[in-house]
Amino acid sequence: MSNVTEVVEELVSPIVNDLELLLVDVEFVKEGSDWFLRVYIDTPKGDIDIDQCALVSEKLSEELDRVDPITQNYFLEVSSPGAERPLKNEVDFQNAIGQYVFIKTYAPIDGMKEFEGYLITYGPDGAEVEVRIKTRKITVLIDKEKIALARLAIDFSA
| Residue 119 CB-density burial (10 A; 0-12 exposed, 13-18 middle, 19+ buried) | buried
Q: Quick check: 75 and 37 in contact, CB under 8 A?
A: yes
- Residue 117, classified by CB atoms within 10 Å of its CB into exposed (0-12), middle (13-18) or buried (19+), is buried
The predicted pLDDT at position 157 comes to 78
Sequence ranges of the domains in the chain = 2-79, 90-152
Can you tell me the distance from the alpha carbon of 86 to that of 40, in angstroms, rounded to the nearest whole number?
Answer: 10
Q: Kindly indicate whether the domain formed by 90-152 is annotated with CATH number 2.30.30.180.
A: yes
What fold characterizes domain 2-79?
Answer: GMP Synthetase; Chain A, domain 3 (3.30.300)
pLDDT 10s digits, 103-148: 999 999 988 999 999 999 999 989 999 998 888 899 999 999 999 9
pLDDT of residue 47: 87
User: pTM of the prediction?
Assistant: 0.72
Angle, CA 39 vertex, CA 15 and CA 149 arms, to 5°: 125
- Asked if the model's pLDDT at residue 158 lies above 80, the reply is no
Say how many Å lie between the first and final Cα of the chain, rounded: 40
Question: 59-90, pLDDT tens digit by residue?
Answer: 999 999 999 999 999 999 999 988 888 898 88
Check pLDDT > 60 for residue 2.
no
User: Over the chain, what is the mean pLDDT?
Assistant: 92
Of 95, 97, 104, 101, give the one whose Cα is nearest residue 116. 101
> What is the tens place of the pLDDT at every residue in 25-60?
899 999 999 999 999 999 888 889 999 999 999 999
Tens of pLDDT, residue by residue over 83-92, are 888 898 888 8
Q: Residue 1: which pLDDT band, with cuts at 50, 70 and 90? A: very low
Please tell me the distance from the alpha carbon of residue 31 to that of residue 23, in angstroms, as a whole number.
23
Q: Which helix (H) or strand (E) holds 23?
A: strand 22-31
pLDDT number for residue 85: 85
